[in-house]
Structure 1
Amino acid sequence: IKRYDVVVFQPDGSIFLVVECKQPNVPISQTVFDQIARYNLTLKANYLMVTNGLNHYFCQMDFEKESYLFLNDIPNYNSIEK
């Protein structure tokens, strides 16, 4: 069973953002990104966030290239094309 820490839905029911939360003593590593990327294979969120409460990383999915692009900040929900 997969457990998701935070899932933010859009009004149409699609998933806007998935957040993976780790404890502050857990460094954010490639393994953590691999975990959330595996979750997102089924969720299909456009945005991902990983945090340990001290460090936060945001990325936007590129489904065509099967990759993600790191962002400087979490996107403003109201500014995103829906």
Structure 2
Amino acid sequence: MKDLVQHLASIELNLPAYPMDIEKGEQGKYYVFDPIRKKKLLLTPEEWVRQHIIHYLVKNMNYPGSLISLEKGLKYNALQKRFDILVLDRSGEAFFLIECKAPDVKLNQKTVEQVCLYNNNFKAPFICISNGRMHFCLEREPITGKYSQISHFPIFE
């Protein structure tokens, strides 16, 4: 079987490739340097997708890295959950909430509902669910709270 890094690198994502700082640690596990959190994290298929999305937002779409928050806790129905990526606007309000899945996870109604439920806490105008291969981006109508699909990541202004 291929090692994890070779396996992940062989998966074609619908995102540009980026050079990542990856190193093999103890017990043969791989770690990737996260430029937002400025620390090494265990490399998993979901983290691979998250890092590609972060790089894409910062390098290609000019999102400010300082306004990106990663894997923080939130409460939903008294349950402790964690969101993957939350981008704030320049006034510190939620702008774009992204839920990342591993490349082999199929995106379906349930996974879309997950990010919609998380967004009840934030009321971000844009949300996305991505497995790196497919991205479902939605725009939230501020008055009704209903979502409609958009064909791209939102432009940060």
Q: TM-score, normalised by structure 2?
A: 0.48
Aligned: 1:32 with 2:111: yes
1:1-80 equivalent positions in 2, closer than 5 A: 1-78=80-157
User: Structure 2 counterpart of 1:18, which letter?
Assistant: L
Give unpaired runs (5+ residues) of structure 2. Answer: 1-79
Shift of 1:28: 0.5
TM-score by length of 1: 0.88
Structure 1 ranges of 4+ moved more than 6 A: none
Which structure 1 residue ranges, 5 or more long, are not aligned?
none
Of structures 1 and 2, the larger Rg is shown by 2
What is the number of residues matched between the two proteins?
78
Q: Take 1:24 and 1:49, find their aligned partners in 2: how far apart are those partners?
A: 15
Instruction: Name the CA distance, whole Å, in 1 between partners of 2:145 and 2:135.
Output: 22
Amino acid at match of 2:93: S
Superposed CA RMSD in Å reads: 1.0
Q: Quick one: distance in 2 between partners of 1:34 and 1:73?
A: 19
Structure with the bigger percentage of helix: 2
